[in-house]
Structure 1
């Protein structure tokens, strides 16, 4: 766990993707604690139009089979992709019926959950990397994740321990603030 006095700014600046992770992963209790913090995500009408599916162990093979069908890839190759982290968190948009909150806004909430969860996992000392792609909408992956008719995948957060060699990182290129911050 990092310094409890660290700020949200510190967490955001420190966050990195870790495409290589060890076989360690947060236990269910820790994952539940981190997900419990998602009550603070901006969510018009408090619909909570999202859910997270945790895939561990052989459950990751369901993901691999779905990926193989969706992409036409060799199952051996997709097993390698699906099992390269001990925990895979599928981020699901689970829309709620609302006359006030359009679908795009509900999807934004689910995206906010994914990003905040990744920040919290990193801050807790876990390595994460986010994967998406066209195949997230494929029927085979909907079936593999047992999604309801109205639900769809945003992508997956792969989670594991951070290898010692990856604990230090290069500084990031600064933002071009003239491009990213404008005024009217």
Structure 2
């Protein structure tokens, strides 16, 4: 309950971020989320340091070539905000018989579980989406297949010293439930 009520999107992120080994360890825990058929219809692409900067630069150049300046940070800057960017790729299985919406729910559950586990370990994260998720150049650079979808990414690192998330107030949500009695 503490992790759920104190987790926040953290925008000020610095190093260190979890190592590849620590990320894999936390992902094992997050992968325990409900997943009809155990399909694991997702994969993560980890970008750090030079690779992260290179992807950001290439996407920024691509956006400039298209004349894309739709407000907000330039496309390249969107990509470089933390020491680790973990990109979530949705890879549904059409042959499984499991509806695609259930597979998407499984991928979403893994992402949220990972955010909670990162928070419990003292790391901060923020979910990112945006132009780069819809970019054909992003798909090409990251090796996204024709039947896959870029859902977004987690920017991950250590929260800045000023970040002290308050505990969320527990809302009364009883109006959102119904108990049927026969």
Q: CA deviation at 1:134?
A: 5.3
CA pair 68-128 structure 1, distance change in 2 beyond 3 A: farther
SS in 2 for 1:48: coil
Q: Runs in 1 of length 4+ with deviation above 6 angstroms? A: none
Aligned match of 2:80: 83
SS in 2 for 1:58: helix
SS in 2 for 1:18: coil
Q: CA deviation at 1:10?
A: 2.0
TM-score under structure 2 length normalisation: 0.84
Aligned match of 2:90: 93
CA distance in 2, matches of 1:11, 1:182: 27
TM-score under structure 1 length normalisation: 0.83
Q: CA deviation at 1:183?
A: 4.9
- Pairing 1:21-170 to 2, within 5 Å after superposition: 21-60=13-52, 61-66=54-59, 69=62, 72-73=68-69, 77-133=74-130, 135-166=132-163, 168-170=164-166
Q: CA deviation at 1:114?
A: 0.8
Note the aligned Cα RMSD (angstroms). Answer: 2.4
Number of equivalenced pairs: 174
Q: CA deviation at 1:105?
A: 1.2
CA distance in 1, matches of 2:59, 2:106: 26
Could you list the per-position Cα deviations for residues 95-128 of structure 1 after superposition, in whole angstroms to 9, with x for gaps in the alignment? 1133520111111111111111111111111010
8 Å contact kept, 1:22–1:85:
yes
Unaligned runs of 5+ in 2: none
